[in-house]
């Protein structure tokens, strides 16, 4: 019972006092099990409900030849969403970590920032639940929930900035650079090189980031 209370407390604390919640997560050396469970649940439900809902909208038109394919994709959307979400979590957390190190911050662990970024998905529970209600009862509610994902994602991004600030003991301004600007620049460079050179461009980006990171760590 105490474990459940502890879980509920940590979940609530992330939204009510994120800095304190993240600090406790690091200091108490909690595992990333709870944040990852939250992240996987949100990724699964949000992607599955969004895709299934829009396939449902299309379902009003009888698609005799490709209806089965849409249905298959819809029923696999949750799994695909989780796989994509976990890859996104690993890449994004790694980019934050690398940027923080390049900025000279030696505190903060990589596995902690993974847990904290996963924890920051908590606000997305609300539009996800609305999408679930919309999936069951109303397509309009479903569309509203998809629109609401944008402001709730901004809330989530704010939590990531706070998490970065706590994990690497940096100011909020530097945390914005480490968690937003740095990863954004890396993604833009990766897209630009990939569009010019294909997969080679992506490899060059990854190797480039690794070399810069190792050079600065020397």
CA quadruple 67, 58, 136, 76: dihedral positive or negative?
positive
Give the separation between CA 53 and CA 77, rounded to whole angstroms: 11
Residue 115 main-chain phi, psi, to 5 deg:
-65, -40
Cα separation, 142 vs 18, in Å, equals: 28
Between 145 and 205, whose beta carbon lies closer to other proteins? 145
Q: Is 67 in the site for other proteins (CB under 8 A)?
A: yes
By CB under 8 A, name the one of 12, 104, 151, 198 that touches other proteins.
12
Q: State which of residues 89, 96, 116, 122 lies at the interface with other proteins (CB under 8 A).
A: 122
Instruction: Determine, following the binding rule CB under 8 A, whether residue 71 of this chain makes contact with other proteins.
Output: yes
- Give the count of residues interacting with other proteins (CB under 8 A): 46
Per CB under 8 A, contacts with other proteins among 45-64 are 45-46, 48-49, 52, 55-56, 59-64
CB of 164 to other proteins, least distance (A): 22
**Exposed / middle / buried, residue 129 (Cβ in 10 Å: 0-12, 13-18, 19+):** middle
Q: In the bound complex, what is the minimum distance in angstroms from residue 193's beta carbon to other proteins?
A: 29
Nearest to 76 by CA among 105, 106, 55: 55
Residue 66 vs 200, nearer CB to other proteins: 66
Residue 131 near residue 145 (C-beta atoms within 8 A): yes
Under 8 Å between Cβ of 64 and 70? no
Q: Does 116 bind other proteins (CB under 8 A)?
A: no
- Between 116 and 209, CB nearer to other proteins: 116
Q: What DSSP state is assigned to residue 59?
A: T
201 scored as a contact of other proteins (CB under 8 A): no
| Stretch of 68-76, 99-107, 146-154, 195-203 contacting other proteins, by CB under 8 A | 68-76
Copy the structure tokens of residue 51: 């895709």
Note whether 206 binds other proteins by CB under 8 A.
Answer: no
**Site membership for other proteins, residue 131 (CB under 8 A):** yes
Q: Which residues bind other proteins (CB under 8 A)?
A: 5, 7-13, 15-16, 38, 41-42, 44-46, 48-49, 52, 55-56, 59-71, 74-75, 78, 122, 125-126, 128-129, 131-132, 135-136
């Amino acid at each position: 019972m105490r474990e459940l209370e502890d879980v509920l407390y940590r979940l609530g604390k992330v939204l009510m006092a994120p800095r304190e919640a993240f600090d406790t997560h690091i200091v108490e050396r909690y595992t990333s099990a709870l944040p990852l469970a939250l992240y996987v649940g949100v990724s699964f439900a949000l992607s599955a409900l969004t895709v299934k809902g829009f396939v449902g909208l299309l379902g009003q038109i009888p698609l005799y030849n490709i209806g089965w394919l849409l249905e298959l994709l819809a029923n696999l959307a949750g799994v695909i969403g989780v796989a994509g979400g976990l890859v996104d979590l690993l890449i994004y957390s790694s980019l934050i970590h690398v940027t923080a190190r390049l900025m000279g911050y030696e505190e903060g662990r990589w596995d902690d920032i993974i847990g904290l970024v996963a924890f920051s998905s908590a606000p997305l529970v609300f539009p996800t639940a609305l999408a679930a209600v919309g999936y069951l009862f109303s397509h309009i509610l479903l569309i509203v929930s998809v629109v609401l994902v944008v402001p709730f994602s901004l809330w989530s991004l704010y939590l990531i900035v706070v998490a970065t600030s706590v994990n690497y003991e940096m100011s909020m301004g530097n945390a914005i650079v480490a968690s937003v600007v740095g990863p954004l620049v890396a993604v833009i460079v990766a897209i630009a090189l990939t569009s010019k050179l294909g997969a080679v461009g992506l490899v060059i980006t990854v190797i480039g980031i690794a070399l810069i990171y190792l050079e600065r760590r020397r």
